[in-house]
Amino acid sequence: MVFKCKVLISLFFFTSIVAQCLIAQERVIIKLDGGMTPVLNENFGTHKYNQIITTGKDSSSISKIYDLKNRLISQTKEKYNEELGYNEAIISSYDTLQNLISSEIKNVDNGSFVRVYLDEEKVVTRLEFTKGESNGENYKLYMGKSETPIAIGPTNPMDPSPSFEQEEFFKFLSQTLQYPSQARSERETGTAIVAIEVNKNGEVISYHCENEDSIHPSLSKEAIRVIKKFDPQFNPAYGIFGEPVAGTFKIPIRFKLS
């Protein structure tokens, strides 16, 4: 009887510990498409990544993104920084061999960050982004340990930079974009993320919808049609060694029914 009681007591404490752990941490798995956005409609294709988010009782969280071969693509640890007074994230990205290729510290509250790119575990490039009420958004790109930036501007220099004005594009969009009749009749809405592939000479080589698995086909087709007609021009992106490289510029086109 004594032995039986001890077993029951042990089981009670074990169950309590497990229950406390489950309460302390919440784990969520989200399917992501090619644009790293949640798959909302699986009728248009399969997901390409899995995101696992674990949230602690102190509101801290760890997010890990894996490809379908279970290779870690990125990891984000987020918590409130009491000393600095804002929510902070530490973001690590990996290649397919699981080598660390970039590390970032980000102010989640205003979007500012410092990101370093690595080659064979050595820092080769540093990208800084600041966002303030007085000076707006500003990017600075540095090589190695240099404190003199090779690029400064309102757009990320490691992406192709548009040589057209936003106002010009928005005006063209409002005059040209049409809501596809099929999507309208089926009450389909959503945002098509059009990815524009630009080579190292700044020439556009292709267009595709990055989240086509999650949006009605007629919406992605219309978004691509309009952007092709606009015929956007670009300057090439900077690589991690400061050289011109091919890159992708993304434009979100939102379709909303009134």
**pLDDT on residue 95:** 96
- What would the pLDDT profile of 203-222 be if each residue is shown by its tens digit? 999 999 988 878 999 999 99
- What would the pLDDT profile of 118-148 be if each residue is shown by its tens digit? 999 999 999 999 987 667 789 999 999 999 9
Q: Report yes or no: 205 and 197 within 8 Å, Cβ to Cβ.
A: yes
- C-alpha 126/C-alpha 117 separation (Å) is 6
**pLDDT on residue 138:** 94
**pLDDT on residue 4:** 39
Q: Which value, in Å, is the radius of gyration of the alpha carbons in the chain? A: 23
From residue 227, give the alpha-carbon distance in Å to each of 8, 192, 197, 223: 68, 11, 13, 6
**pLDDT on residue 5:** 40
Domain boundaries, the chain: 27-157, 162-255
**pLDDT on residue 58:** 82
Q: Report yes or no: 198 and 247 within 8 Å, Cβ to Cβ.
A: yes
- What would the pLDDT profile of 90-124 be if each residue is shown by its tens digit? 999 999 999 999 999 999 999 999 999 999 999 99
- What would the pLDDT profile of 26-69 be if each residue is shown by its tens digit? 899 999 987 788 887 665 557 899 999 999 888 899 999 999 99
Looking at the chain, the whole-number percentage of residues with pLDDT higher than 70 is 87
Alpha helices of the chain — where are they, by DSSP H? Answer: 2-24, 166-176, 181-185, 217-230
CA atoms within 13 A on the CB side of 199: 5
Would you say the pTM of this structure is higher than 0.85? no
**pLDDT on residue 14:** 40
CATH annotation of 162-255:
3.30.2420
**pLDDT on residue 36:** 84
**pLDDT on residue 250:** 95
**pLDDT on residue 65:** 98
Q: Give the range among 18-27, 63-72, 101-110, 165-174 with minimum mean pLDDT.
A: 18-27
Task: Please check whether the domain covering 27-157 is classified as CATH 3.30.70.
Answer: no
